[in-house]
Amino acid sequence: MGYGGKMKIKKSQLREIVKEELINEASYMEPDELGEELEYRLSILGAAIRKHSKHSAKWAEKMYRSAPATIKMVDTLIKVLMKMK
């Protein structure tokens, strides 16, 4: 080990670790906590949609390889949200 025993991780790896921890933590949350967390995340999603929807066409043209998967993900999210009562 050339780093004095310290392990370096990339920012993307750290982001993935945090995401996995949040997912694992969510499975052990109480139902009311899950509801609050979902409302919070949906409010962030709504703000992001309002902020970035104007630029989505340009993004899709630039990132044409990622756009189909993104569209599919958005369709799936729409279906889940439409099922909520």
Q: Which residues contact 67 (CB under 8 A, 6 or more apart)?
A: 59, 60
Distances (CA, A) of 7 to 1, 19, 66, 71: 9, 20, 32, 37
For residue 46, the SS3 value is: helix
Regarding pTM above 0.85, the answer is no
User: The tokens of 25 are what?
Assistant: 């933590």
pLDDT in tens, 42-73: 999 999 999 999 999 999 999 999 999 999 99
Domains of the chain, by residue range, sit at: 11-83
pLDDT in tens, 2-19: 455 666 778 888 888 887
